[in-house]
């Protein structure tokens, strides 16, 4: 039997649990958490890497059979049990409590480097009001690169050279954590107010960018490249692997934040509809954000191609004593063919540059390179460049901040639900303490080697651990909690039983896909020798010139970051089992007649 007093306390806690003001606020919170920098950075990069539109096919398949089922499951289980990640998985089974702890650790570690990106955005935002923009004119010919790698990061030559703390980044990082704390000071109540701006403003900016970018020369080339299908690409297994991981990470699954947000919902709420709305809006945002990005890529590709041809035109004009203005961009091809026929040896000796628009379109830029190099370079060429720079970095600020709400919620809610915080400590003070600890640990990213460490955290914390956590989540719901019991809960909450699509994905398809993605990821990573791109300030053509291997001690940290969160899963299970053995042994030793009943009850739960 359950303790009636304990049950009464639980019902009281559920009744008193805070909640958002309305349904729109809740959906915006979930959308803001799911829609983040990955939609603006990584998705366009993957589309560009795999030849544009062909990537959309495996992406949609992954959304349908992996993303949506897991999203629906997390929203439903959080809403039904009304707890954070640790409480939810401990309620399902004492042995599953480690899944919640793992989610909490991942949210904490991801929040560390995610807010460092927010600090970089603040640094560029503050500089966007200068005229001219400070990254327009720098000591070397690639000004935006120099401003990013030298003026902003002040990067060291390699990861082994730590460098000193960069005081301007320390101030920006402190500002970023202060902003997060102010928005989060009262928990879900203040987050709900801030989310109206942070979740909607990026769509306004993206639309403005799209309308303006479509007027740039070369815009059509970028759009054609985005929506052209290269069917041969689909034969590459890595395309399917990257599509599966992208939809998974883009929806912010297994972080615990979605479970925490849904726990503030009334239990009679249509969580299936919520999952479909959040999942589809997230994917729509990825595609919608790709359009202005590819338009700008088309503009930059045309500009680089024209600059390349102008350099060749100047070289040919001087070498063959041709009148200035005779060779133009329009007739460059004809002149080159003519000179190749009349004096091919002289043309060959000039070492003309290879100018090909398709090559420039295929030059990939990912992550920080996309935001702090490609976009800043494009903004320079726009009229009223300061305005566009401010709008762009405000948009990135909103995307980062709304995602940080979910990361911090994934840490605070489980800790508060476990009642490990003494009641005399105000929630505001505890939130401030978590932010202060996070700021102190994240100072590693403000070192001269900070960008190297951020890439390590991004690669190793936000990959394998999330796959493992999600696999244990879906196994816990489908085969420990029981799929029939879960279906009953959803029917009670939504008024109808899950259809065959949800049943098949929860039972078989999604666990199988997670297992395949995990195995494929491990196999692919095992075949590669971990390397990183090092800064070479003397190599002016492109700053990341040297490819180095990680030292053994750094690689050991990489492995530790992959293992540290998920090691909580077996450790908590082992601890619970030892507690059970201890209690059972004591009951047997004391000849408790209910010892066997205790054993049966524990096994059944």
Please list the alpha-helical segments (H only) found in 56-187. Answer: 56-62, 68-81, 85-92, 97-127, 143-146, 167-184
Segment (H or E) for 549: strand 544-549
Report d(CA 82, CA 319) in Å as an integer. 77
* 128 close to 121: Cβ distance less than 8 angstroms: no
How many CB atoms lie under 10 A from the CB of residue 541?
9
Is residue 438 a contact partner of residue 173, using CB atoms and an 8 Å limit? no
Annotated binding site for Na(+): 32, 34-35, 39, 250, 282, 399, 403
Please give the annotated binding residues, written as ranges: 32, 34-35, 39, 250, 282, 399, 403
C-alpha distances in angstroms, 270 versus 92, 256, 263, 284, 482? 21, 20, 13, 21, 20
> b/e string for 483-511 if b means 16 or more Cβ within 10 A?
eeebeebbeebbeeebeeebbebbeebbb
Q: Check if the beta carbon of residue 242 is closer than 8 Å to that of residue 46.
A: yes
Report the candidate in 21, 96, 140 with the shortest Cα–Cα distance to residue 471. Answer: 96
First to last CA, the chain: 12
CB of 244 closer than 8 Å to CB of 517: yes
Cβ atoms of 290 and 44 closer than 8 Å: yes
Q: How far is CA 539 from the centre of its chain?
A: 31
DSSP code at position 233: G
């Amino acid at each position: 039997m359950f303790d009636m007093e304990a049950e009464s306390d639980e019902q009281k806690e559920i009744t008193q649990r805070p909640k958002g003001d309305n349904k729109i606020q809740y959906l915006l919170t979930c959308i803001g958490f799911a829609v983040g920098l990955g939609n603006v950075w990584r998705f366009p990069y993957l589309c560009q890497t795999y030849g544009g539109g062909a990537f959309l096919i495996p992406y949609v398949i992954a959304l349908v059979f992996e993303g949506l089922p897991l999203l629906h499951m997390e929203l439903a289980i959080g809403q039904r049990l009304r707890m954070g990640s640790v409480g939810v998985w401990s309620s399902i089974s004492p042995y599953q409590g480690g899944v919640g702890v793992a989610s909490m650790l991942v949210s904490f570690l991801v929040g560390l480097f995610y807010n460092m990106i927010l600090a970089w955005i603040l640094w560029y935002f503050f500089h966007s009001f200068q005229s001219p923009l400070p990254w327009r004119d720098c000591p070397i010919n690639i000004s935006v690169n120099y401003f990013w790698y030298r003026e902003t990061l002040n990067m060291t030559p390699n990861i082994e050279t730590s460098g000193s703390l960069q005081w301007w980044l320390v101030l920006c990082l402190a500002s970023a954590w202060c902003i997060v704390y102010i928005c989060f000071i009262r928990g879900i109540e203040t987050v709900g107010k801030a989310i109206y701006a942070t979740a909607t403003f990026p769509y306004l900016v993206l639309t403005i960018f799209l309308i303006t970018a479509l007027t740039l020369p070369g815009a059509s080339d970028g759009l054609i490249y985005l929506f052209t299908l290269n069917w041969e690409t689909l034969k590459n297994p890595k395309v399917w692997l990257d599509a599966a991981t992208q939809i998974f990470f883009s929806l912010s699954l297994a972080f615990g934040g979605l479970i925490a947000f849904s726990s503030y919902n009334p239990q009679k709420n249509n969580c299936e509809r919520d999952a479909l709305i959040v999942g589809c809006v997230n994917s729509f945002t990825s595609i919608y954000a790709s359009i202005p990005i590819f338009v700008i890529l088309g503009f930059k590709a045309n500009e680089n191609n024209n600059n390349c041809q102008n350099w060749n035109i100047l070289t040919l004009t001087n070498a063959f004593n041709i009148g200035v203005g005779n060779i133009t961009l329009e007739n460059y091809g004809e002149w080159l063919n003519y000179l190749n026929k009349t004096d091919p040896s002289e043309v060959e000796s000039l070492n003309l540059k290879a100018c090909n628009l398709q090559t420039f379109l295929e030059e990939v830029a990912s992550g920080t390179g996309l935001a702090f190099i490609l976009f800043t370079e494009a903004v320079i060429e726009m009229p009223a460049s300061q305005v566009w720079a401010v709008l762009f970095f405000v948009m990135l600020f909103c995307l980062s901040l709304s995602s940080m709400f979910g990361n911090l919620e994934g840490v605070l809610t489980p800790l508060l639900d476990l009642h490990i915080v003494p009641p005399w400590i105000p929630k505001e003070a505890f939130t401030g303490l978590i932010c202060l600890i996070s700021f102190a640990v994240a100072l590693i990213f403000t070192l001269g080697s900070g960008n190297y460490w951020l890439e390590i955290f991004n690669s190793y914390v936000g990959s394998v651990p999330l796959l493992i956590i999600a696999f244990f989540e879906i196994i816990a719901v489908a085969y420990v909690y029981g799929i029939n019991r879960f279906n009953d809960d959803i029917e009670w909450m939504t008024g109808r039983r899950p259809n065959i699509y949800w049943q098949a994905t929860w039972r078989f398809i999604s666990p199988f896909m997670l297992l395949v993605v995990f195995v494929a990821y491990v196999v692919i990573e095992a075949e590669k020798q971990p390397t990183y791109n090092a800064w070479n300030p003397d190599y002016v053509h492109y700053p990341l010139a040297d490819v180095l291997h990680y030292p053994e001690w750094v690689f050991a940290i990489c492995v530790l970051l992959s293992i540290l969160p998920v090691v909580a899963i077996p450790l908590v299970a082992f601890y619970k089992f030892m507690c059970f053995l201890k209690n059972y042994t004591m009951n047997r030793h004391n000849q408790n007649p209910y010892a066997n009943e205790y054993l049966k009850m524990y096994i059944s739960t």
